[in-house]
Structure 1
Amino acid sequence: MNSFPPSDGGLLATETPGDNSPAQSVSELSQSLKRTVEDAFGHVRVRGEVSGFKRHSSGHCYFTLKDDRACIDGVIWKGQAAALRFRPEDGIEVIATGKLTTYPGRSKYQVVVDRLELAGQGALMALLDKRRRALAAEGLFDEDRKKRLPFLPRAIAVVTSPTGAVIRDILHRLADRCPSHVIVWPVPVQGEGAAPQVAAAIRGFDTLAAGGAVPRPDLLIVARGGGSIEDLWAFNEEEVVRAIADCAIPVISAVGHETDVTLADFVADIRAPTPTAAAEMAVPVRADLIANLRESGLRMERSVRRTTERGDERLEAVLRHYPTRESLLAPQRQKLDELGDRLPRALRGSLDRARAELGRAGGALRPGLLQSAWRRGRDRLEATWRLAQAVDPRRPLERGYALVESRDGHVLGSAAAAREAGRLRLAFADGRVDASVDGVEPPRRAAKSKPEGPQPRLL
């Protein structure tokens, strides 16, 4: 059978029967590529430098892995991102483990990362150095931010693992030196989730209020035993460093042994080479305090004694410049002797003058003059007495007269006043009676009752 060319000049696509490459849709081709890539690269490990790392608000992380000749996109879904043991940063060399897949929406391929690790010890140290320089640039490690440790803290907080030798060593050394109130916040000190719990414990102690059920500590110790840099990595995490920097309580960092250094050591107020050394820095030795107090007491006693002795010496030196008691009293004693000698002569002269004046006055005191003066005085006294008896208001009452008063005790001197008062009281020599004007009877008084109005005065 002969085939004839299409009449459209080859402008329209045609499907030839038996053709083994039929046309596919874009979606079909994308899905085919996706299955092919995932089947061929279902498990890959890629080493490269992190670039453009970004954590989306959804929790997913997006970045690029690159070397000097190529690059490939990477994604870490939210579940795996929460389990990362470190926070990825640009410029850090890592090894990403996962699978290769495509993103049909953009015709790109990418690595879906299940696990992200630092590419060796050098990468880990590079990340640590980069983070240290960034935090130092913020001033978190400056010396002027450091707080002084209290001399004798009443309560000491310890953030560490509740098991192991670290907490036992701290408690034992505190008990030996100066028994103190210790509050332990148990946390994991390595592995996944250690850094957030350590930071939460530090912030938790810092939020305690003074006078609460749990006393607010005066000092905080962050402690962990020795280990590799990977074991101590939780204390290099930024959230732990910032928690220590924000803590208002003085902090001692006691992470690892003497040769181990973490970022917590840089930001803490003081670094202890070991947890045991942290306990020694936290409190003084009680026996030394007692000895110092005893020595201070003895020194104070000696100082007071020396001060007293020097004061006595200065007083004696000053007194030597003052006149003696005999020199001060000698003139007064001499004057007293002179006055003693003059006193008998002065007394005799005064006595002679007194006798002369008495003699002159005695001559004028004759008996006749005294008797005449006495009689005149007696006559004046008798005349005064008779006048007093004449004006005594009680004398007319003895001769039968009566004194008219109102019931309230006012003396009535006229008939008009008596009529106006109406109710009267008549005072006789032997007592008083009630009366009334124009036959008005006074009210009867009950037996043994006191009269109304004020009591009349006896004349």
Structure 2
Amino acid sequence: MEESPVRFDASGRLLAQEREGDNLPPLSVTELSSQLKRTVEDRFGHVRLRGEISGWKRAASGHAYLALKDDGALIDGVMWKGSMGRIAFAPEDGLDVIVTGKVTTYPGRSKYQIVIESMELAGEGALMQLFEKLKAKLAAEGLFDPGKRRPIPMLPKVIGVVTSPTGAVIRDILHRLADRFPSHVLLWPVLVQGEGAAAQVATAVRGFGALPPDGPIPRPDVLIVARGGGSIEDLWTFNEESVVRAVAASPIPVISAVGHETDTTLCDFAADLRAPTPTAAAEMAVPVRAELIAGVTELDARMRRCLARGMERSKERLEAQRRLLPRPDVLLGQARQRSDDLAERLRRGLSHRLSGARHELADAAGALRPALLEAQIERGRNKLAGVRLSPILLERRLAEARRQLDGLARLAQSLNPDAPLKRGFARVMAGDRLIRTAREARVAGAVTLKFADGETAATISETVPEPRATPRPARKGQPAPIGQIDLFD
């Protein structure tokens, strides 16, 4: 009887068996996956692919996972941590990008994917759309409000610079500061392009703002955030939301000097002042020292001339008043005669008093005995021994004296003529003369307005414009206040 070609195991399951002439041996799953992987990578080892980002996710390891899609298909993608540093923008869902890489398979899930080596936005128009989208978002939050911009200090003692330590930008800034007004510069070195650059710039701006004013590292009076020119992709670090928010929230005034004059970043809108170039930022941060010296010298000469004229006029007024005074002999004649009379009466009175005192001493001398004196001294010693100084009494006296001293200090502060200047008032002077009325101001013509932070010159016009400020409502029983006009209008 012929044996059947079909075989079964002990459990009754069908066993595979090789047939004579069969040249297609079975492959393992791993072998098939490896062959597919080699075939796909050999055929699609370098491709450029355009699509829309979907499902962007950054893993804790630093790698990124995403999907690229269009209207008809979708492909998974992965970007290793080493390639992330070459992206000039922050990827997000919905961006239209062009990626370069190779197509491979992932045997663990039986799928194909693209390993991305570089990523670019699909044209400058897409990058500008992202720019305008972020700009509108931050503007709606009020980060670009011009009313929040602060003035740059005229003479900063310390200048903080946030830029690359190896580029030409920091050398240009230091060279320009040395030419105009040598200053103390603190550099916070950062990357200005590539992965991690935005985080470093934002950290530097916040770090400068967190320095204590009286700490071991001096806190800058002004910050310069600078970078050289480049394409919009190169400057994209300064369009990142983290950098813009750090600049807008900085407690220190910020000058943005990113790129050239034609370049614009969101950091420029959030800063207190925009400079066309890093060199121009240094010029805006400090004045020209030689010009300041010349101006101070001129002001000193004007002050001396004013003092000299004031002294001459005072001498003339004093001389005119001296001529009107009566002669000293006429004024002092009666006083001299009365003084002589009193001197004579004083001599007689002293002589009479001395004689009476001698009689009293003679009468008392007979009653003086050592025993009486010793008894009185002993009573004084006993009385002195009973006196004990109490610390509580002294502390009360000291506390009372401190309260009186504090009261006098507050009174002196309230009477300080310069105190109202800190509350927004100004003192009007014509030379060394204080102007108290509008008529005196019109007669003087040119006046000096003294504020809390300095002085400025002004010219009084005969035409008084209508007050702009809305008068404060008067309290019950008081007249309505008159609005103050703007002298600079």
User: Normalised by the shorter chain, which TM-score bucket?
Assistant: 0.5 to 0.7
Cα displacement (A) at 1:275: 2.0
Shifted more, 69-78 versus 177-186: the winner is 177-186
Aligned to 1:151: 154
SS at match of 1:258: coil
Aligned AA for 2:239?
N
On the 8 A contact 2:86/2:194 being kept in 1, the answer is no
SS at match of 2:260: coil
Which sections of structure 1, spanning at least 5 residues, go unmatched? 314-324, 326-408, 410-459
Q: Once superposed, what is the RMSD of the aligned Cα atoms?
A: 4.3
Cα distance between partner residues in 1 of 2:175 and 2:81: 44
Q: Deviations over 1:171-224 (max 9, x none)?
A: 344344433222233445445654444334333323322233331110011122
Cα displacement (A) at 1:301: 8.2
On the 8 A contact 1:92/1:126 being kept in 2, the answer is no
Q: Which of residues 97, 101, 105 in structure 1 aligns to 2:100?
A: 97
- Distance of aligned partners of 1:32 and 1:263 in 2 relative to their CA distance in 1, 3 Å threshold: same
Aligned AA for 2:146?
E
- Distance of aligned partners of 1:139 and 1:102 in 2 relative to their CA distance in 1, 3 Å threshold: farther
Shifted more, 53-62 versus 266-275: the winner is 53-62
SS at match of 1:226: coil
Aligned to 2:257: 254
**TM-score, normalised via structure 2 length:** 0.53
Cα distance between partner residues in 1 of 2:7 and 2:196: 73
Q: Does 1:69 pair with 2:66?
A: no
Q: Deviations over 1:240-296 (max 9, x none)?
A: 333323422111001122111122212212111122321232123445545655549
Q: Does 1:223 pair with 2:226?
A: yes
Aligned to 1:37: 40
Counterpart mapping for 1:121-140 below 5 A = 121-140=124-143
Cα displacement (A) at 1:227: 2.8
Cα distance between partner residues in 1 of 2:150 and 2:259: 22
Cα displacement (A) at 1:12: 6.4
Cα displacement (A) at 1:136: 3.5
Cα distance between partner residues in 1 of 2:184 and 2:5: 101
Which sections of structure 2, spanning at least 5 residues, go unmatched? 318-324, 326-374, 376-489
Aligned AA for 1:160?
T
SS at match of 1:279: helix
Q: Which of residues 270, 275, 278 in structure 2 aligns to 1:272?
A: 275
Cα distance between partner residues in 1 of 2:118 and 2:207: 32
**TM-score, normalised via structure 1 length:** 0.56
Q: Deviations over 1:295-325 (max 9, x none)?
A: 498489869989x99xx99xxxxxxxxxxx9
Aligned AA for 1:240?
V
Cα distance between partner residues in 1 of 2:77 and 2:16: 41
Cα distance between partner residues in 1 of 2:87 and 2:156: 38
Aligned to 2:216: 213
Aligned to 2:122: 119
Q: Which of residues 198, 201, 208 in structure 1 aligns to 2:201?
A: 198
Aligned to 1:332: none
Aligned residue-pair number: 313
Cα distance between partner residues in 1 of 2:230 and 2:84: 25
Q: Does 1:86 pair with 2:101?
A: no
SS at match of 1:240: helix
Cα distance between partner residues in 2 of 1:295 and 1:62: 68
SS at match of 1:206: helix
SS at match of 1:149: coil
How much identity, in percent, do the aligned residues show? 64
Cα displacement (A) at 1:62: 1.4
Cα distance between partner residues in 1 of 2:294 and 2:210: 37
Q: Which of residues 171, 174, 179 in structure 1 aligns to 2:174?
A: 171
Cα distance between partner residues in 2 of 1:131 and 1:119: 18
Cα distance between partner residues in 2 of 1:65 and 1:155: 49
SS at match of 1:68: coil
Counterpart mapping for 1:1-12 below 5 A = none
Cα displacement (A) at 1:7: 12
Aligned AA for 1:271?
R
Aligned to 2:144: 141
Q: Does 1:50 pair with 2:53?
A: yes
Cα displacement (A) at 1:158: 1.8
Give the structure with higher Rg (CA): 1
Cα distance between partner residues in 1 of 2:41 and 2:229: 43
Cα distance between partner residues in 2 of 1:82 and 1:25: 39
- Distance of aligned partners of 1:16 and 1:80 in 2 relative to their CA distance in 1, 3 Å threshold: same
On the 8 A contact 1:15/1:22 being kept in 2, the answer is no
Aligned AA for 2:53?
V
Aligned to 1:109: 112
Q: Deviations over 1:34-61 (max 9, x none)?
A: 3432333233221222222111234321
Cα distance between partner residues in 1 of 2:81 and 2:230: 30
Cα displacement (A) at 1:29: 4.2
Q: Which of residues 242, 263, 278 in structure 1 aligns to 2:245?
A: 242
